[in-house]
Every structure is written in structure tokens, then in C-alpha cells.
Chain A
Amino acid sequence: MADRERRMTPPYGGVFVARTTVLDAAQVHRALTRISHEIIERNQGLEDVVLVALQTGGVEIARLLSRLLFEIDGVDVPTGTLDVALYRDDIGLRPVMPEAETDIQIDLGGKVVVLVDDVLFTGRTIRAALDALTDFGRPRSVQLAVVIDRGHRELPIRPDFVGKNLPTRRDEVVDVNPEGVLLGEMRK
């Protein structure tokens, strides 16, 4: 769950109450290590690979991935952040967070962009991100890495790298944080 959801008022937000731990910190680390290897394998190295983290949930994950990629392959992969609030189809329903900044210093033309987020749910954030990316150049390809794929897609979007597939109810909430992944719900 991103900071954005935490701040939303009912009926969209509330207080997150955890029910079960899905992954602990070590398991998240192992999943990200595997994803790092998969990114390198898929792209036959890290040449032209750029990580773009989605604000706000993807930022910490991308930081970890970038460190792991460096440990494995010795390459310092360029990393940017992207906030898609201005591209969403539900503008007005979600708070816009001025501090969730977009910071992409490089031309994405010809690059392999790996979008990084914590949770893949309806796919609408990714749809917005794909729109936003085109304003920064024309990437050679765009791939998607997420820690949790929780299903309930509303658009034809699929991830390339997944930490864990987690069947959920639509009204449940998945919280990814440095200590692990929790499943629970929002209480008013």
C-alpha cells in the first residue's frame, strides 16, 4: 500500500489493519534477488536498462533492486521516479501528493525501461505510467516488475517480473514495506 492510500479518507482510505504476513523481509529480499537475475537474463545484461519507480510504493523497491543489480552485475543502473497522478483516469478521487516527484533525468529514447511498483492490482496505474513514459521519449521496450501481483485486473496488462502471485479479495489491502508484505484491510 502506498502512502497515497494511507492518506485517503473513507470510503477510499482509513486505518490499515494487518491480518497475515505474506512475506517476511528475508523472503522479499530473496524475491527481489531472483527478479534481478531475471531482469539480467531477459535483457542479456543491463545495457540500456533503466529502472523507473512508480511513486510512491515503487521507490523503495527500485532502490533495493538497483543495489541488487549492482551486486550481481557490477552495473549502476540509472534510476528515475515517476508519479502518474496527472495521467490517471480517476483524477479527483485520489489525493495528489506534491512530494511524490517525477525525476527522470535521462532521455528514455531507445532504452529498456523496467517499471517498478510494489503491487499490481487493477493495472490502471500502469496504464497511466505507459502514457506518462511516452512524454519522456520512446523506449525500445517497457517491462514491469512488481513485488506482488494480487489479480483483479481491469485492463489487458501483465507483469514481466513478479515476486509473488497473491490471490486476494477485492476489498483486501496489500501493504508492502521494508519489513515484508502484509495482507489486511482498511478499517474506518
Chain B
Amino acid sequence: MTNHLINLTDMDPDAIRELLHLTDRFVEVNGRPIPKVPALRGRTVAMIFFEDSTRTRMSFDLAAKRLSADVVDFPTHTSSLSKGESLQDTVDTIRALGVDALVIRHNSDGLPGQIAEAVGETISVINAGDGLKAHPTQGLLDAYTLCQHFHGSAGAKASLEGIHVGIVGDIKHSRVARSDFAAYRSLGAQITLVAPPNLQPTDPENWPVEITDDLDSVLPSLDVVGLLRIQKERMGEAVISSVDDYVDRYGITESRASGMRDEVVIVHPGPVNRGIEIAAEVLDKRVNVLVNQQVTNGVAVRMAVLFRLLGSGVEID
């Protein structure tokens, strides 16, 4: 039992389903003429982003505000941290200021979890992405988006049973892939990992599913193509020898897309590299590309997480 959200792999599938079910409620709130409720009035959420982020940060910000919580930004570049204060001292300071939740993104694996242990039960810590390890709210919003697409909403028994999802791209360096995998799997989806050999997971024992480097061989059986962002900032590490080769084998090009059934769904956590993971024409024109729906649902999912941790008096298992 915990009042933190650190990693989906630690969570009971029923707890994941309950969060997704709660998300239905906030999708409804976001559709109202006035999409704001007083549920977290008087609560304060601190945003601590050590890595750049636009959409995740804005999404958490909006989610907190639509619940009437106050949001404070902790500017990591200009803060006392850059003056040499230790992270522990910084967290102690933030705690002393009286915040109720920390939303943390950091480039080192496990840091939000360590902070959660350090602060104990007094503050909720929400992982907004740590290193290569986890991005739990992304996993939840992707799972929610698929549930909504296939079933209209998550409902009491959110399920992706009978759905075959391919996670395609740089799985080795992707926290999104890890959290998506955990979320899809706990909902019963069939999963296949598709990646070039050097970008496949180095810990296959944690991914007990089919792993292949041949997208075209599995594409006909997929219901969902889950694209991962190729991180151009990693190009220097020569993870991809040639962009053209990557596009040729793993990109959703116009010709590859034309061979796919219309019902096949494409998701991508964004931001999209047009012309690499997916061709611009496919992104803009194809039906069942759910990229914007993912962003929209992200706010509702984060409202559910914030409300569950700060407002409901019930802990996540």
C-alpha cells in the first residue's frame, strides 16, 4: 500500500483497472461546459522537472488545476540545487513549504522511488518519467486510450483481451515502452516487441513475449501499432546507423500504411518525428491515428491519479 505512483510494474492489475475506471469520471468532467471541480481545493502540487518536458508537464499542470489544486513550479535550472544543495535538502525544503504532492521527472532511474521512500507517507510522489525505467502515467493514458477506442470507455473491468499490440521502436532506451508493456499486459493484451536487434531489451526475462526485428512479418496480425519516439538526441550514440534504414524497416510509411487494415490503430507518445516513426501524410490523414486522443486523455488520467492519491482517502495497492 502506498500513496505514491512510481512504477506500474509494482501495481496490482486491479489497482490499474480501478484508476482507469476512475479516469472515465474525469473524461466526463473534461467534457463539461466548465471543466473544473473543487475536489482538491487547498491542496498543493509541486512540479519538479529535471528533464525538459512540454506535454507531460502541461498535462499535469492542467490536471491539477482542473481539480482546483494549486500548482507550484520548482525551477530546477535556477534553483538552490544549482547552488550545490543536495537533492535531499531540496526535497526537505519543499516538504517544509507544505506541499501535498511532488510530480517528479528525472533522468536517473529510480530517483522518484528513492524520494518517495525519503518522504514517507506525508507527501505523495508521482513519477513523471525517470531515466529509462518508467513513465507510469503515459502507460496508463495509452492503455486508457485503447480501452476507450475499443470499448467506448474503461468501465469497471477495463480489458484489452483479444487485442494484439505491437510496441515498435527503440525499446531498449524507452521508459514509455516499459510502462506501456506493464499497463497493456495487466489488461490482458497480447504484446509483440518489434525493434532492431541493438535496440531490443537487454533484460528479455522481464519481457516474456515475442520479440522480433521484422515489423512486416507481424504487422498483418496487429490490432494496435504502438510507435516509440526515436530520440534524435541519442543519434550520437549511433543507436541507429542510418535514419533511412530505420524508416525502411520500422517506419509507418505511406506504402506500409496502405497495406494496413483501416481498423488498425496507431498510437505514439509524442512528440512525433514526422517522416521517421510515421510519415506526415499517414499521421495527418489516416483514420485511427489516436495521437491527439492520447494527449486529451492524458489530462483525465492524471486527474484520476492526483485525485486518487490526494483526494479520495483511499490508497493505491
Q: Which residues of A are interface residues toward B (Cβ below 8 A)?
A: 83, 85-87, 91-96, 98-99, 101-103, 107, 131-132, 134-137
Contacts and interface: CB of A to CB of B under 8 A. Distances in A.
21 contacts: A86-B25, A86-B29, A86-B37, A86-B67, A87-B37, A91-B312, A92-B311, A94-B313, A96-B314, A98-B22, A98-B24, A99-B21, A99-B156, A101-B24, A101-B25, A102-B28, A102-B29, A103-B28, A135-B34, A135-B36, A136-B34
Interface in B261-317: 307, 311-314
Interface residues of B, number: 21
A85 B22 CA distance: 12
Query: Closest 4 A-B residue pairs measured CB to CB?
Result: A92-B313, A98-B21, A86-B37, A86-B39
B33 interface: yes
Contacts of B29: 86, 102
A98 B25 contact: yes
A19 B36 CA distance: 42
A98 B156 contact: yes
B213 interface: no
Nearest to B38: A87
Contacts of B314: 95-96
Nearest to B23: A98
B177 to A, nearest CB: 28
A96 B34 CA distance: 21
A145 B18 CA distance: 33
Nearest to A107: B33
Interface string B29-44: 1001110111100000
Given A86-B307, A92-B311, A95-B314, 19 more contacts: A87-B37, A87-B38, A91-B311, A91-B313, A95-B313, A96-B25, A96-B312, A96-B314, A98-B18, A102-B25, A102-B29, A107-B33, A131-B38, A132-B37, A135-B32, A135-B33, A135-B34, A135-B36, A137-B33
A131 B25 CA distance: 17
A110 B156 CA distance: 35
A117 B25 CA distance: 20
Contacts of B67: 86
A132 B32 CA distance: 11
Nearest to A108: B33
Nearest to B25: A98
